[in-house]
Structure 1
Amino acid sequence: MKKFTLLFIFFLGLITTQAQQQNATFTVNPAAFNEDDEITITVSGIDLSLWGSTDLYLWAWYFDLNDNFVGNAPNNGDWTDSSNTTTPQVFTANGDGTYSITLTPTTFYGATGIGRIGMLAKAQDGTGDNKTQDNLFEVGIFQLTLNTPTDAVSIIDSGSSLAISATTTVNADFELFANGMSVDTQTGITNYTNNYTITEGVDFELVATETGTSNSLSETFSAITTPVVTEAAVPAGMEDGLNLDGTSATFVFFAPGKDYVHIKGNFNGNDWSLDNTYLLNKDSAQDRFWITIDMPNNSDILYQYVVDASISVADPYSTLILSEFNDAFIDNATFPDLPSYPTGKTNDAVSWFKTGEAEYVWQNTNFQKPEVTDLVIYELLIRDFDNLHTFDAVKNRLDYLQDLGINAIELMPISEFDGNISWGYNPSFHMALDKYYGTPTAFKQFVDECHARGIAVILDVVYNHATGQNPYYRMWNTSGGGYGGQASADSPFFNQTATHSFSVFNDFDHSKQATQDYVKRTVEYWIEEYNVDGFRWDLTKGFTQNCTASNDACTNAFQQDRVDILKEYADYQWDVDPDFYVIFEHLGGIAEEKEWADYRANEGKGILLWNKQTDPYNESTMGYHDNGKSNFSGVSYAVKGFDGPSAISYMESHDEERLMYKNVQFGNNTNAPTYDVTDLSTALDRVELAGAFYFTVPGPKMIWQFGELGYGFSINRCEDGSIDNGCRTNPKPIRWDYLNVADRTDVYDIYAKLINLKLNEKIFKTDNFTLSGSSTADKKIHLTDDTATGDEIKYVTIIGNFGVNTLSINPSFQETGTWYDLLDDTGASIEVTDVNAVISLQPGEFKVYANEQKSLSTPDIDNILSFNAYPNPAKTAFSINESVQKVFVYNITGALAKKFEGDFEAGTNFEIGELARGLYLVQIQNEKGIATTKLSLR
């Protein structure tokens, strides 16, 4: 059997707590065994209290006779619950601190032809690295062990000898091959030794055949002569990473303190070997290594750097990587023609690029970003937005989002992260696109199409930390280049321990120049390569060097070093794109946030801050107002303390519980059955109410995906339907069928009308506004546009009943006269003779009044011909305010539901009573052209 080291890491795609892995000692009795022998596995060195566990579980996997991974043990259970299986694999405590389990491989794995078994010990729930290291054991009485050399590649001075020694468990005949030629044979022995003189690079294979049989095992290893590094300056204009000019590739690699670096891959016959032909030059003045190589045209090029002949890493500035763990689960529809991982030739992430590719031709080069105060951002996780989980799938949903009225989409992290099923806050390669969502071209087409529709694209970026896969972490850590351990003291990038109290994975030290250069280089790439319009910076609290992991007070306090470095990063983004949206998820003290909000604001810039208002809005929708818990006045940037609209307020985000879930589970039902917030229809009405007191407040806003349809599944929902905090990042149900529920499309329609008002009536940009009723069920908003002229709206008064009883509310209108209900399509109005005359509102009812009337007709999709379908919503029929020749009614999936052809006058009734309730698209054709609008059927 050919033996090589494999590192098995079970990426769960979860953001975990600090690692609690324990290194244990595993022994097998008997030490040599066949696949049908009973064996006892004993583990020592485990402290279960560190995991908060009482039982120790075995997690196991196996390989075939060629050392190819086959699968996991059938009764492993779930990583989060090893007891979730018919026969849990529980170790027995021996009473002396050791634990044992007895099994027969063929029975245990339900397989034959087993060449190697792998295992670890874990707590019932392995989350948070509650496990030991991986362990591998060979199967078969006849075993070969290579004792020296211990490294896969040995560095030997030319003319010196390489000591080779090996043992077998029974007598064997040995034969040593050097570069494919037989150079030594020794027969009938169990101990093999040889000293081989090295004058050039040699690939060895030592073959042992059990004496008298044909059973053979082999070990492969290599040796090269000690490299002689050429000192040479990095060519002018070359950046870190790959610099491709046609088929000429210059690779630049930052590696301070390292002696030499090779590059290996699938190019020019290298075949992943360590070869001094591909030894990089060294520029000591810049701590960089580099090499220029002519590559074949129109080819997929795969490569890694080998640092000091001991650690193989992908390029930290890879734009795409291949993964031995994840790529098998990415289908051809998501990422066509994905090259195969070079299994058996190397391990860990591999850099990938293609020569001869044509550059993408952008179709929309004059996109004008929405003004900050106009921003209506739609935050989405591609994985949970569409079952196809691709950029193309989201692009195909843009009609839906455009009709809603949003003008920006914020994607949760799409740079390369560990695993596939993830929120993306476990980044490994900050410049690489994660292939689980599609190709670079597909992402560019998505951005292009968004820009064509007036929609900006914002990316969530994670520069607080990196996972163990990050090459710059692996090059300087205490696990010898592995994924675990911690950063070593000489790391140019990472803190040994986190300097703030919200740390996950490995904490970047942003005071170091290397880290700053890395951040700036990758930031620039995303802006220039993909034309994105903004970044939302995750966990900016972690950018200080002044605190400790246990000191929340310090982390939350004003930190000047954090202010300074984040301003520097903002400047760099604006240097690349002067109109770039710079958004921080800080959620900290107002003094520090105001520093950023005011920064370069006089130039029309300023940094935007996430403004969480989930709790007070949800208390309001649930109907609870005691002790000021429903005070959502913080949605106002003025109340928050900013001079301008720097606060991106949100009722829901990826990190917060869903309003509807708590409405239905915990809403106020003290007046049930007369009025019960936990009733689905009532709960949805209250989300509409919250929207009226959200979108109308001046300043940027954000919607979490499907919030406009009243998404009702908990953020902590597990895939089996249970609720558990450990399931927060698990996949959630994708419910496009909500579009067939009229009560849910009502929310969509109200949101669309409110967004339409926000974007098209300048009063909703005013800085003269107040919110009142912060601690009571009756709430009000007053807006005044002191610049209004003619028939422009000067005053808006919004009143709402967030209680569970009928209320009489004093609207405090700004003037007497005619006031119009802006959300009533019929143009309803009231005559106000007493500005303080109370108005009675049912629980959950609200009104948006203005002193001038504005039409809020449903926006058409094609923008070729404008028309109205009415009434909308319709019950059994609808009419069109245009004469038409063809009318097509499509359901939300795009299927034709009904069609009408002929010469129809304006106002003709089109009967659709037989159709199911839900949202439809109506397309008309006449001599003016073609147009489409949406129609709700009740």
Structure 2
Amino acid sequence: MKRLLPALLLGLLCVPVCAFAQLLTWTPLFPKDNDNITITLDATKGNQGLNNYSNPENIYVHVGVTTNLSNNGGQQWLYVNGPGGGAWGSATPALKATSLGNNKYQFTINNIRTFFGVPAGETIQKIGILFRDANADAGQVRKAANADGTDMYIPVYTANAAVRFTVPPFQPTFVPTPETITKAVNDNISLTANSNKPVTLNLYLNGTLIQTASAATSISATPTLTAGGNTTIIAEAIDGATSVKDSVKFFVNGGVTTAPLPTGVKDGINYLAGNTSVVLVLYAPNKGRVSVIGDFPGNNWTEQTSNQMKRTPDGNYWWLQIDGLTASTEYAFQYLVDGSLKIADPYTEKILDPSNDGFIPATVYPGLKAYPAGQTGIVSIVQTSAPTYNWKNNSFTGADKRNLIIYELLVRDFVATHSWQTMIDTLSYLQRLGINAIELMPVTEFEGNDSWGYNPSFSFAPDKYYGTKNKLKEFIDSCHSKKIAVIMDVVPNHVYGQSPLAQLYWNAAQNRPAANNPWLNEVQPHAFGFGDDFNHESAATKYFWKRMFDFWMREYKMDGFRMDFTKGLTQKASGNDAQFSAYDQSRVDILRSYGDTIWKNFPSAYIILEHLAATNEEQALQNLGFLLWGGKRDNVVFNEATMGYHNAGGSNLSSIVYNSAERGFSNPHLVAYMESHDEERLMYKNITYGNVSGSYSVKNDSIALRRMEAASSLFFMVPGPKMIWQFGERGYDKSIFACPDNTIPQPYGNESCKLTPKEPRWQYMQDIKRQRLYDVTSALIKLRNTQTTMFNSTSFSYDLVGAVKYFKINSADLSALVVANLDVVVANASVSFQSAGTWYDYLTGGTITATGSLQTIPLQPGEYHVYLSKNIVNAVTTPVIDIDRPANELGALVYPNPASPASVLRVNLPRTAQLRAELQTMQGQAVRSVFSGTLSTGEHRIMLTDKINNLAAGIYLLKIESDRQHQYIKIMIP
């Protein structure tokens, strides 16, 4: 379990008989080695994890000790649960607690050393303990711990004199900390300290003796606090020549200064001219006092009168100017709210995280500032004169939204280093593919390191697990250099508990946002959702998100946003998905407001909504200029097609057509996809569940990959923006549900490993069958990129319902017809070309004579063709490799291509036959004979070195003929 060090103050815990309820009490008051100890929990205190627990007879403890041999600063638990052990979450009878009723639980340890089995000679220093239910690992963990979730500790004493405060009450953190003390000038404070033997006891208030007792084991006082600021009370026990002390430190509020905000500042960190001063602004209505603690000069992480923030006259904002900063130096800080809550700035651009920063390699984030010792919680960073990034591209304009080809990726799973630098080094791969936009899954700070990013916590801070903010800027700049836009996935629906927007107004008893939270709903009003739900009718929420959108567009030159789960941006109550999805004008208005804000300053910004609501609402949003995600149905129907299942209207791909009956869009604003981050991978289901007919099996990876080509030919020919999920261009075949050890939890669909890392599998680059899918994908994308007039045409027709599918599109200059047999048996396509004459097979170089009327094209299972009315050659810069054909067909490929001295012609002959290979110009004029002779059944390799020497650069056709079959391969000579 995680162990944090929340050490702020010295002191110990309250005696069981004191008048102050507290988290843990125990008898005896000063337990020693070999003593029996009875420990009592008050579940209404601390993190309240077991408060009002429904099954009080099902509570157990998890216990251990720290000794002189413990690591981790002495916090390491040893001899956990005693000699008999007992796993976390198990129902071990010896560890069962007794319910006392009224949220109280008790557990007795008989002889501390014997219970844990600590060897002689090892010094026991503390008992570590948690109370938890018997099913702590089944679903949500239910445990009682300190308020910050850390483990509870009980000190084990020696016979030497000891003293401890019992009033005010303390939390049993590793270094005990007092519960929140809220005092103002002229208040009284009750004090009691106890000792383990009769001694002379003294109490001091800020160095002044206020009470003394001789030969006593207890001392009390109720002094008046006459001065504001830091206050220290010391209990001293004098035993002969020995003096021991305990102390409690707290802040006395001397009053809050009221002052208006300085001119020109806004929420968050405001840097002033001169690089030595900042103004910090926190929106926190109804709070009593706020201070800034940190490693600023003279601050030392302690609340002081000098670092108390001023409150604006309306009571909503707190602000403080901090001077004397050294330019370029990073300072860590937090807001201390009402003397107890410590939060980072919600608008900070960098945080330090004590639980996760240690796992970020220096190669990814060089020179990361160390987390401040002795502190707890997330801290913010302020840095005047921070290193700047010098942009090379200041006037980048992305593709028309109608022509977007988006590549969605998760940095963690796309490159093994999870670093922006490796992403920069990999951009040429994506540029060759031809995409013109990258959609990054969330990259702002989220909880933990290992995540999809949909559990956000700090929306203005790029996650350090991927690198520095300037490396992110360099990545975006590098994308723009390659004519690739960058679209940022953001999560406007929710945050999680690490966010200061949640922590600042939190109902700990109910474990949810408080009713007065300015940003978050106490309970989501709609049928379902995630995390802590934003209230987008709130002015505070609207301000936060409009700031966020502007920040990333302006500071990082993002080209737009993909907004996650926008159906949740409503306060309209709903009890089921049908009500939730129904047309909601308030939701449309909220999104229009955000869109207008973005487009006012960045009119070409892309805004993609994962909306998935009623069709008429999506129609309204696309009319406003938004792009809409296609939805999971697109993945389902494409997978039915690639697997070869077409019964009862299955594999109907019409939903990817923006103006189809299913969509009814008036604009090509539908972002269609075959796969996204959230759906099962097509190739996994192909090879696991694919259809089989005789010797033709979709479970064969070669056949499955060919069917992915066929599906892609239909997918990319439909007008409108398109999206590819990472490695879809190579047929990624690891299940989305797979665990890191490649097992798949059963039953299939169990999501317990869905979010776990999936390795990049760049080894696909060495698989020639997967290289073919990449090349086909690239060729189709390049056709779209070079023939935008045709793909922006509204003149198209299609039949995407049956096993044999076609799509036709027309423009004044060029027309296309794609036809594919996605059945698992031979079939005929009955189609009519848009005009009679010669049509050109874009991917093979072959031709077909069109009659202009209905004609039949016989198709093998998985066979497809992309026919163009003109011979387009300038779109293809990589070869189309074709070797995995049915057993009775000729198969040939050239690899590598573009050609080099190492290039080889590989030919697979279904039977012994005469083979002739001839190099031609694109106009069909013979250039050179490559091979002529008889070859036996099987695969043959013919070196091309002497066949391509001294040829002029350009694109050629290699015509291969055998047994009345022929095939054309385009070869690029660089």
> Which range, TM-score by smaller chain?
0.7 to 0.9
Once the two structures are superposed, the pairs formed by residues 299-338 of structure 1 within 5 Å of their partners are 299-338=329-368
Give CA deviations for 1:560-606 in whole Å, capped at 9, x if unaligned.
Answer: 1111111101111112311111111111111111111001xxxxx44
Give CA deviations for 1:866-913 in whole Å, capped at 9, x if unaligned.
Answer: xx999999978768789xxx9999xxxxxxxxxxxxxxxx9999xxxx
Q: Give the stretch that moved more between structures: 145-154 or 795-804.
A: 145-154
Counterpart of 1:809 in structure 2 is 829
Q: What's the offset of the Cα at 1:645?
A: 1.1
Counterpart of 1:236 in structure 2 is 263
- One-letter amino acid of the counterpart of residue 817, structure 1: G
Over 3 Å counting, the alpha-carbon distance change for 1:876 and 1:117 in structure 2 is same
Alpha-carbon contact 2:182-2:338 (below 8 Å) kept? no
Over 3 Å counting, the alpha-carbon distance change for 1:633 and 1:145 in structure 2 is farther
Aligned partner (choices 163, 184, 199) of residue 227 of structure 2: 199
Alpha-carbon contact 2:611-2:628 (below 8 Å) kept? no
Over 3 Å counting, the alpha-carbon distance change for 1:48 and 1:732 in structure 2 is farther
Aligned partner (choices 148, 168, 175) of residue 149 of structure 1: 168
1:743 is the counterpart of 2:769: yes
Give CA deviations for 1:240-289 in whole Å, capped at 9, x if unaligned.
Answer: 11110222201111111223321111102110111111122222237212
1:583 is the counterpart of 2:612: no
Over 3 Å counting, the alpha-carbon distance change for 1:29 and 1:423 in structure 2 is farther
Partner of 2:668, secondary structure, is: coil
1:508 is the counterpart of 2:564: no
Give CA deviations for 1:24-43 in whole Å, capped at 9, x if unaligned.
Answer: 99887888656787878898
1:222 is the counterpart of 2:253: no
Once the two structures are superposed, the pairs formed by residues 82-481 of structure 1 within 5 Å of their partners are 89-92=90-93, 114-122=125-133, 124=135, 126=137, 128-134=139-145, 136-141=152-157, 145-150=164-169, 151=178, 154-158=181-185, 161-169=188-196, 189-195=216-222, 197-204=225-232, 206=234, 218-229=246-257, 231-245=258-272, 246-285=275-314, 287-294=316-323, 295-344=325-374, 346-479=375-508
2:690 & 2:737 partners in 1: Cα distance? 18
1:656 is the counterpart of 2:694: no
Counterpart of 1:837 in structure 2 is 855
Once the two structures are superposed, the pairs formed by residues 840-879 of structure 1 within 5 Å of their partners are 840-855=858-873, 858-859=876-877
1:384 & 1:336 partners in 2: Cα distance? 21
- One-letter amino acid of the counterpart of residue 138, structure 1: I
1:692 & 1:52 partners in 2: Cα distance? 59
2:189 & 2:27 partners in 1: Cα distance? 34
2:405 & 2:335 partners in 1: Cα distance? 44
Partner of 1:121, secondary structure, is: strand
Counterpart of 1:800 in structure 2 is 820
Alpha-carbon contact 1:618-1:663 (below 8 Å) kept? yes
Q: What's the offset of the Cα at 1:675?
A: 0.7
Aligned partner (choices 752, 767, 770) of residue 726 of structure 1: 752
1:767 is the counterpart of 2:797: no
Counterpart of 1:620 in structure 2 is 641
Partner of 2:717, secondary structure, is: coil
1:329 & 1:626 partners in 2: Cα distance? 50
- One-letter amino acid of the counterpart of residue 429, structure 2: Y
Alpha-carbon contact 1:58-1:90 (below 8 Å) kept? no
Aligned partner (choices 700, 725, 729) of residue 704 of structure 1: 725
2:316 & 2:897 partners in 1: Cα distance? 73
2:594 & 2:443 partners in 1: Cα distance? 20
Alpha-carbon contact 1:241-1:316 (below 8 Å) kept? yes
Over 3 Å counting, the alpha-carbon distance change for 1:114 and 1:349 in structure 2 is same
Alpha-carbon contact 2:89-2:133 (below 8 Å) kept? no
- The structure with the larger Rg is 2
Over 3 Å counting, the alpha-carbon distance change for 1:877 and 1:413 in structure 2 is closer
Aligned length in residues: 850
1:645 is the counterpart of 2:692: no
Give CA deviations for 1:472-511 in whole Å, capped at 9, x if unaligned.
Answer: 222222228xxx7222222211111111122222111111
Alpha-carbon contact 2:89-2:137 (below 8 Å) kept? no
- One-letter amino acid of the counterpart of residue 92, structure 2: F
Aligned partner (choices 504, 526, 529) of residue 552 of structure 2: 526
- One-letter amino acid of the counterpart of residue 498, structure 1: Q
1:711 & 1:54 partners in 2: Cα distance? 49
Q: What's the offset of the Cα at 1:855?
A: 1.1
Q: What's the offset of the Cα at 1:551?
A: 2.6
Q: What's the offset of the Cα at 1:734?
A: 2.4
Q: Give the TM-score normalised by structure 1.
A: 0.81
- One-letter amino acid of the counterpart of residue 133, structure 1: A
2:715 & 2:340 partners in 1: Cα distance? 57
Alpha-carbon contact 2:163-2:194 (below 8 Å) kept? yes
Over 3 Å counting, the alpha-carbon distance change for 1:276 and 1:215 in structure 2 is closer
Over 3 Å counting, the alpha-carbon distance change for 1:172 and 1:53 in structure 2 is closer
2:119 & 2:577 partners in 1: Cα distance? 47
Alpha-carbon contact 1:227-1:276 (below 8 Å) kept? no
2:630 & 2:85 partners in 1: Cα distance? 40
User: Unmatched 5+ residue regions in structure 1?
Assistant: 8-23, 77-82, 600-604, 861-867, 890-905, 910-916, 918-923
Counterpart of 1:779 in structure 2 is 805
Q: Give the stretch that moved more between structures: 235-244 or 470-479.
A: 470-479
Aligned partner (choices 619, 626, 633) of residue 594 of structure 1: 619
Give CA deviations for 1:711-741 in whole Å, capped at 9, x if unaligned.
Answer: 1111111223222311111112221111111
1:232 & 1:411 partners in 2: Cα distance? 42
Alpha-carbon contact 2:897-2:971 (below 8 Å) kept? no
Over 3 Å counting, the alpha-carbon distance change for 1:510 and 1:160 in structure 2 is closer
Q: What's the offset of the Cα at 1:210?
A: 9.3
Counterpart of 2:583 in structure 1 is 558
Once the two structures are superposed, the pairs formed by residues 58-97 of structure 1 within 5 Å of their partners are 68=73, 70-71=75-76, 89-92=90-93
Give CA deviations for 1:192-235 in whole Å, capped at 9, x if unaligned.
Answer: 43455542433526466795897967444223342242x22212
1:261 & 1:633 partners in 2: Cα distance? 58
- One-letter amino acid of the counterpart of residue 429, structure 1: F
User: Unmatched 5+ residue regions in structure 2?
Assistant: 10-21, 44-48, 100-104, 146-150, 170-177, 746-750, 884-890, 905-926, 931-940, 942-947, 954-969
Alpha-carbon contact 1:881-1:907 (below 8 Å) kept? no
2:713 & 2:31 partners in 1: Cα distance? 72
2:24 & 2:229 partners in 1: Cα distance? 36
Partner of 1:753, secondary structure, is: helix
Over 3 Å counting, the alpha-carbon distance change for 1:586 and 1:152 in structure 2 is same
Alpha-carbon contact 1:323-1:341 (below 8 Å) kept? yes
Over 3 Å counting, the alpha-carbon distance change for 1:858 and 1:5 in structure 2 is same
Aligned partner (choices 540, 553, 568) of residue 542 of structure 1: 568
Q: What's the offset of the Cα at 1:553?
A: 2.3
1:438 & 1:112 partners in 2: Cα distance? 44
Counterpart of 2:735 in structure 1 is 714
1:631 & 1:243 partners in 2: Cα distance? 55
Q: What's the offset of the Cα at 1:308?
A: 2.5
1:84 & 1:321 partners in 2: Cα distance? 39
Alpha-carbon contact 2:65-2:124 (below 8 Å) kept? no
Partner of 1:387, secondary structure, is: coil
Q: Give the TM-score normalised by structure 2.
A: 0.79
Partner of 1:569, secondary structure, is: helix
- One-letter amino acid of the counterpart of residue 303, structure 1: F
Q: Give the stretch that moved more between structures: 55-64 or 741-750.
A: 55-64
Counterpart of 1:754 in structure 2 is 780
Counterpart of 1:21 in structure 2 is none
- One-letter amino acid of the counterpart of residue 808, structure 1: N
- Aligned-pair identity (%): 33
- One-letter amino acid of the counterpart of residue 576, structure 2: N
1:457 & 1:53 partners in 2: Cα distance? 53
Over 3 Å counting, the alpha-carbon distance change for 1:205 and 1:96 in structure 2 is closer
1:694 & 1:387 partners in 2: Cα distance? 30
Over 3 Å counting, the alpha-carbon distance change for 1:563 and 1:773 in structure 2 is closer
Over 3 Å counting, the alpha-carbon distance change for 1:212 and 1:631 in structure 2 is farther
